[in-house]
Every structure is written in C-alpha cells, then in structure tokens.
Amino acid sequence: MNLGKRCIAECFGTFWLVFGGCGSAVLAAVFAGKVDTTPISLGIGFVGVAFAFGLTVLTMAYTIGHISGCHLNPAVTLGLTAGGRFKAADVGPYIVSQVIGGVLGAAVLYVIASGNANFKLSDGFASNGFGELSPGKYSLVACFVAEVVLTFFFLFIIHGATDKRAPAGFAPIAIGLGLTLIHLIGIPVTNLSVNPARSTGPALFVGGDAIMQLWLFWVAPILGAIAAGLFYKTVFESDK
C-alpha cells in the first residue's frame, strides 16, 4: 500500500479513536436520568470510557491494520520504529496524519457537544492534565511517571501481540483490551493519554492551561514507547 493511502487510513483511524474515546467521556460518562420520579445515573463512568477507547483501537485494528498497521498514535509509530518494526522515513507523514485525525475528531465532537446548552469547555472536554487539571489532582511527577510506564506497557503489548511467533489474528483483541486496562488505571491520574494525537485534539479547543501542559503528553508517551521498542527488540526478538 502506498504511503498516501496509509496516511489517510491513519487519519481516519485516529479520528475514530478521539471521537469515540473522548466522545464517550464528554457525552456519556455522566448522564442523569429518572425512573418514575427517582433520579438515577445513566452515565457509563470511568469503566465505560476505558472500554470505549479500547473498542476504538480494536475495531480500527481489524479495519485498517492490514492497510497502515493501525498506529493511531505518534508514540506507537516511534515505538515501533525503535523496535525495528517501522521505517523511519515514514514516521513524519504518519505523525502528521494522526494529529490531523485527532484534531478533526475533537472538532466534530465539539460541534455535537456544544449543541447542549449546559456544555462548557471549562469542564475539560476530555483533555489531559496534571496538578489542578488532573482528575485526581495528581502531581506533575506522578502524572509523568504514569504516562511513561503505561505507554511502555502499551507498546510492550503491541510488540508482543504482533510478533510473528504470536498466535495470528488475535493481536487487535490483546491491544484493545490492553488499552482498556491502561485507561482503567490512568483516567483518575491524567485522564489518560499515552497518545500525543489524542491529547492534542481536545487541548486545542480547551486552550489555556491545557495547551501549556500538553508538552507532558508528548514527551512522556514518546519516552515510554521508545523505551519499550528498544527493550523488546533487545531482549525478546528472535535471533536472526
């Protein structure tokens, strides 16, 4: 498949990840309803949002995995490059396509969410953050460590699941469930990124401190991803 078509696939796939994952957080995580006259919560909560992110990756992995590899994430692209699984020459176009897809996904989500009179960007719009912008008010150090470690294990799962020695056809399931688990751990800490493109889209709409803190959600995932790629290549790749 030529590079242009692969980049289009990455753009559409990242759109789906941001729209589906962040959309579940913005539109469905907290939703009030009533049974007769008794107020109840109909929202999907943290667990639902975690599964939404995992399902976006699982569905796209089966849809475009055979076209672009279904990275959907600059950290994944760089981690696979470090692990010898991806050509360095294609890194730039992939990352640009992923960021464009993430921004477009956030834009469509904004159009939908702003149709509700109670919607406010100041509520976060599923952006990532540390300190006062962390859902659990976790410190910069805690958030940095969480993003590095969780991205490391996400890339570790990707490398292992896509290894030629692994059972064929099951990689999307392992990767999707891995991302679900990572979100279950990390949503209270940073609103969970492990993906610079996912972080960039919502941050551009929220602005202010969300933009000022965006550096962490580029630096930490990329460091974790590259470390995982190098580690898997060095320790677990089969001898040539």
For residue 240, is it within any domain?
no
For residue 49, is it within any domain?
yes
Task: With both helix axes pointing from N to C terminus, report the angle between 140-161 and 216-235 in degrees, rounded to the nearest 10.
Answer: 40
CB 229 within 8 A of CB 83: yes
CATH number of the domain bearing residue 78: 1.20.1080.10
For residue 132, is it within any domain?
yes
For residue 101, is it within any domain?
yes
For residue 199, is it within any domain?
yes
For residue 149, is it within any domain?
yes
Tens-binned pLDDT, residue by residue, of the chain (240 aa): 899 999 999 999 999 999 999 999 999 998 877 666 677 788 999 999 999 999 999 999 999 999 999 999 999 999 999 999 999 999 999 999 999 999 999 999 999 999 999 999 999 999 999 999 999 999 999 999 999 999 999 999 999 999 999 999 999 999 999 999 999 999 999 999 999 999 999 999 999 999 999 999 999 999 999 999 999 999 998 665
| Cα 129 from Cα 188, distance rounded (Å) | 10
CB 13 within 8 A of CB 4: no
Domain of 187 in residue numbering reads as: 3-235
For residue 46, is it within any domain?
yes
Buried b (16+ CB within 10 A) or exposed e, 42-52: ebbebeebbbb
Backbone angles phi, psi at 238, to 5 degrees: -65, 150
For residue 184, is it within any domain?
yes
Number of domains in the chain: 1
pTM confidence score: 0.95
